[in-house]
Structure 1
Amino acid sequence: MEAAFAEYLDEFTRRDWETLDPTAVTDPVRVAVVGAGWFARDWALPGISRSAYTEATVVTDVDEDAVEAVAAERDVTGVTPDEFRAGAVADAYDAVYVATPNATHLEYVRAAAAQGKAVLCEKPLEATLDRARRLVAACEDAGVPLMVGYRMQTDPAVRRLRDLLDAGVAGDVVGVHAAMSQTMLGELDGDADQWRLDPALSGGCAAMDLGVYPINTARFALGEDPERVSGRTRSEHEAFAGVDEHATFRLEFPDGVDALCTVSQNAQHASRLEVTGTEARLVLDPAFYEREDRGFAVVRDGTRVDLDFDQVHQIEEEFAYFGHQLLADEPFHPDGEHALTDMRALDGIYESADTGRPVALGDDAA
Structure 2
Amino acid sequence: MALEDVFANFTVRDWEHEPADGTVRLAVVGIGGFARQRALPAIAASSYCETTTLVTSSPDDVTAVAAECDVSVVLDYDDFLAGERAAAYDAVYVATPNALHGRYATAAAERGKHVLCEKPLEITSERARGIVDACADAGVTLMTAYRLQTEPTVRRTRELVHEEVIGDVVQVHGAFSHPLLEHASPDTWRLDPELAGGGALVDLGVYPLNTIRFLLDCEPTGVYATAHSSGGPFADVDEHVAFQLEYETDATASCTASFDAHASSQLELVGTDGKIHIESPFGGVVPHEMVVESGDVRMEYTGPTVDEVCEEFDYFGYCVLTGTDPEPDGEDGLADLHAIEAAYESTETGCRVALD
- The residue that corresponds to 1:343 in the other structure is 337
Kept in 2: contact 1:171–1:278 (CA 8 A): yes
1:236 aligns with 2:230: yes
Measured in 1, the distance between the counterparts of 2:288 and 2:282 equals 8
Map 1:90-129 → 2, pairs under 5 A:
90-129=86-125
1:149 aligns with 2:145: yes
- The residue that corresponds to 2:47 in the other structure is 52
- Indicate which of 193, 203, 206 corresponds to 2:200: 206
2:52 aligned counterpart, secondary structure: strand
- Indicate which of 250, 257, 265 corresponds to 1:256: 250
1:175 aligns with 2:171: yes
- Indicate which of 266, 271, 277 corresponds to 1:272: 266
Kept in 1: contact 2:7–2:301 (CA 8 A): no
Residue 303 of structure 1 deviates from its aligned partner by: 6.4
AA at the equivalent of 2:225: G
Residue 200 of structure 1 deviates from its aligned partner by: 0.2
The count of aligned residue pairs is 355
2:220 aligned counterpart, secondary structure: coil
1:161 aligned counterpart, secondary structure: helix
AA at the equivalent of 1:338: D
Residue 359 of structure 1 deviates from its aligned partner by: 1.2
Residue 287 of structure 1 deviates from its aligned partner by: 0.9
Deviates more, 1:257-266 or 1:292-301: 292-301
Residue 292 of structure 1 deviates from its aligned partner by: 5.1
- The residue that corresponds to 1:38 in the other structure is 33
AA at the equivalent of 1:62: S
- The residue that corresponds to 1:8 in the other structure is 6
Measured in 2, the distance between the counterparts of 1:302 and 1:68 equals 58
1:361 aligns with 2:337: no
Listed one character per residue, the Cα deviations across residues 252-283 of structure 1 (whole Å, up to 9, x for unaligned) are 10131001001000011111110001111101
1:307 aligns with 2:301: yes
Kept in 2: contact 1:36–1:66 (CA 8 A): no
Kept in 1: contact 2:286–2:308 (CA 8 A): no
Measured in 2, the distance between the counterparts of 1:67 and 1:14 equals 36
Residue 10 of structure 1 deviates from its aligned partner by: 2.6
- The residue that corresponds to 1:89 in the other structure is 85
- The residue that corresponds to 1:28 in the other structure is 23
Listed one character per residue, the Cα deviations across residues 193-245 of structure 1 (whole Å, up to 9, x for unaligned) are 11010000001010000011000000001111111111111101311011000
1:307 aligned counterpart, secondary structure: strand
Measured in 2, the distance between the counterparts of 1:90 and 1:19 equals 31
Measured in 2, the distance between the counterparts of 1:66 and 1:150 equals 29
Kept in 1: contact 2:132–2:330 (CA 8 A): yes
Residue 81 of structure 1 deviates from its aligned partner by: 0.7
AA at the equivalent of 1:17: W
1:70 aligns with 2:75: no
AA at the equivalent of 1:124: P
- Indicate which of 320, 323, 329 corresponds to 2:314: 320
Residue 124 of structure 1 deviates from its aligned partner by: 0.4
Gaps of 5+ in 1: none
Measured in 2, the distance between the counterparts of 1:102 and 1:294 equals 29
1:217 aligns with 2:197: no
1:176 aligned counterpart, secondary structure: strand
Residue 9 of structure 1 deviates from its aligned partner by: 2.8
AA at the equivalent of 1:55: E
1:137 aligned counterpart, secondary structure: helix
Kept in 2: contact 1:185–1:192 (CA 8 A): yes
Deviates more, 1:56-65 or 1:36-45: 56-65
AA at the equivalent of 1:36: I
Residue 46 of structure 1 deviates from its aligned partner by: 1.2
Residue 333 of structure 1 deviates from its aligned partner by: 1.0
Kept in 2: contact 1:96–1:118 (CA 8 A): yes
Measured in 2, the distance between the counterparts of 1:97 and 1:7 equals 35
Measured in 1, the distance between the counterparts of 2:201 and 2:158 equals 24
2:276 aligned counterpart, secondary structure: strand
Measured in 1, the distance between the counterparts of 2:150 and 2:249 equals 26
- Indicate which of 271, 282, 285 corresponds to 2:276: 282
Measured in 2, the distance between the counterparts of 1:66 and 1:262 equals 37
Kept in 1: contact 2:94–2:116 (CA 8 A): yes
